[in-house]
Chains A and B, each alone.
Chain A
Amino acid sequence: MAMRQGGARPCPASRTRRSGINLAAMSESPQPSAVPPAAGSADQPPARPSLTELLHAFVQVSLSAFGGALPWSRRMIVERKGWMSGKEFNETFALSQFLPGPNTINFAVVFGSRFGGVGGAVVAVVGLIGPPLAIVLVLAYFYERYGDAPVLDHVLAGIAASACGLLIAAVAKMAAPLFSMKRLRAAPLIAILAFVGVAVMHWPLPYVFLALAPVSIALAWFEL
């Protein structure tokens, strides 16, 4: 979903001339029920949320966020609460994409710390992962207990087959612009090497990452 928004959203940084490629798209599965566009709220004066409001907002985001939390964060923060302008949101979003690690979590940290320092960051992260964690652990309990029951086994097998298809479709959507780009000609090769190293050769991912990331970044440095 984030990927689809990528086209319409203004570029996070003016010198970022890439288009159609968006790390955020990888972070979460695509979800087609698109978020409505920002309703002219970009220039409202930002309100300052209290820690309680922050917690409440992120809990709500986490519980409605099927298939990726970032679009839901935008809806909550920019459109409903007016805590940030659309531009501020995009910059915060760009930073959370830039940082390594799960970028929804990064977003919560960056956003929370802006409004409440360490406390704000902690509250935002806890709000974002606490409720889903509780839900998933209850499901895990039932799975460990009844996972061998044939009915549940078959149902989950069906969903598992579908879930990986969703991920593959997201990869295909991202690969299309990357493979047809004029700049970064080596990008497809880098992507293929990463795939082969991890999926075919079964090399440890940290090694593959540490070997390819510097090369890829250096190539981008010279080409951009």
Chain B
Amino acid sequence: MNQNPLFALFTLFASLSLISVGGANTAIPEIHRVAVGVMHWMSDRQFADLYAISQISPGPNVIIVALIGFHVAGLKGAGVAVAAMVGPTCVLAFAVARTWERFKDARWRVAVQAGLVPVALGLLGASGFVLARAADHNVYAALITAATVAVAYFTRVNPLWMFALAAAVGFAGFV
């Protein structure tokens, strides 16, 4: 595929903007499929690294697309990626905001929202799977993942502490 990388970034994120139901994390498998598998912009490991950077930064999860864009085509790439991902949904949100009162109690509105939950859940599960396959390249990494799942599921510990601990294990040379 020899196309302009900016164009490829734009089509990828514009196509995801309106279907990443619930947030940018549901779009992770597709971003991974295109960035690593189809376009060969980066390795699995680099993809996992960029996701990690997006998670240790403040702000909405959608900033992961800026990291992908920057990796592919510098600042221009980051700008195109963010605009493509955020633009369509912003326009739609702006348009719908005015008519929300009219349909917020409509049956179809409730059905659409309820119907999208399982789809989004499956996609999020796929995100976790894809990221774990990219990040867990040895047994220690897999153990870190498993430990984080357990701690995050059963406790309310701030994830930044888990990241700090995981970073220390990495620093010690285990992963």
Q: Flag if A95 contacts B104 (CB, 8 Å).
A: yes
**Does A45 touch B at the CB level, under 8 Å?**
no
Q: Flag if A224 contacts B22 (CB, 8 Å).
A: no
Interface string of B109-120 (1 = CB under 8 A from A): 111111111111
Contacting residues, chain A, for B48 (C-beta < 8 A): 157, 160-161, 164
Q: Flag if B89 contacts A100 (CB, 8 Å).
A: yes
**Does A47 touch B at the CB level, under 8 Å?**
no
Q: Flag if B120 contacts A155 (CB, 8 Å).
A: no
Q: Flag if B114 contacts A163 (CB, 8 Å).
A: no
Interface string of A89-104 (1 = CB under 8 A from B): 0010011111111111
**Does A8 touch B at the CB level, under 8 Å?**
no
Contacting residues, chain B, for A192 (C-beta < 8 A): 122
**Does B2 touch A at the CB level, under 8 Å?**
no
Q: How many chain B residues touch A (Cβ–Cβ < 8 Å)?
A: 115
Contacting residues, chain A, for B60 (C-beta < 8 A): 27-28, 62, 65, 68-69, 102, 104-105, 128-129, 132
Q: Flag if B37 contacts A157 (CB, 8 Å).
A: no
A110 nearest CB neighbor, chain B only: B97
Summed over the interface, the residue pairs from A and B with CB atoms below 8 Å come to a total of: 432
In the assembled complex, the Cα of A157 lies from the Cα of B116 at a distance in Å of 33
A109 nearest CB neighbor, chain B only: B93
Q: Flag if B86 contacts A105 (CB, 8 Å).
A: yes
A199 nearest CB neighbor, chain B only: B126
Q: Number of contact residues on A: which range applies?
A: 35 or more
Secondary structure dominating the interface of A: helix
Q: Flag if A100 contacts B18 (CB, 8 Å).
A: yes
How far, in Å, is B2 (CB) from chain A's closest CB? 20
Q: Flag if B149 contacts A172 (CB, 8 Å).
A: yes
Q: Flag if B122 contacts A193 (CB, 8 Å).
A: yes
In the assembled complex, the Cα of A101 lies from the Cα of B116 at a distance in Å of 12
Q: Flag if A98 contacts B85 (CB, 8 Å).
A: no
Q: Flag if A165 contacts B114 (CB, 8 Å).
A: no
**Does B128 touch A at the CB level, under 8 Å?**
yes
Contacting residues, chain A, for B147 (C-beta < 8 A): 165
Q: Flag if B121 contacts A26 (CB, 8 Å).
A: yes
**Does A174 touch B at the CB level, under 8 Å?**
yes
In the assembled complex, the Cα of A31 lies from the Cα of B104 at a distance in Å of 29
Contact residue among B71, B96, B149 (Cβ-Cβ distance under 8 Å from A169): B149
Q: Flag if B96 contacts A101 (CB, 8 Å).
A: no
B147 nearest CB neighbor, chain A only: A165
Contacts of A101-141 to chain B: CB distance below 8 A: 101-106, 109-110, 113-114, 118, 121, 125, 128-129, 131-133, 135-137, 139-141
Interface string of B31-44 (1 = CB under 8 A from A): 00100010000000
28 A–B contact pairs at CB < 8 A?
Answer: A26-B124, A32-B152, A32-B155, A97-B113, A100-B89, A109-B93, A135-B59, A140-B67, A140-B71, A156-B49, A156-B170, A157-B45, A157-B170, A159-B56, A160-B134, A160-B135, A165-B144, A165-B162, A166-B149, A173-B153, A178-B117, A184-B114, A195-B122, A205-B30, A206-B30, A212-B122, A213-B119, A218-B115
4 new A-B pairs (CB below 8 Å) besides A156-B49, A165-B148? A105-B93, A169-B151, A171-B121, A224-B111
Top 8 nearest A-B pairs (CB, nearest first) are: A132-B59, A158-B170, A194-B122, A101-B89, A27-B23, A165-B148, A32-B156, A217-B115
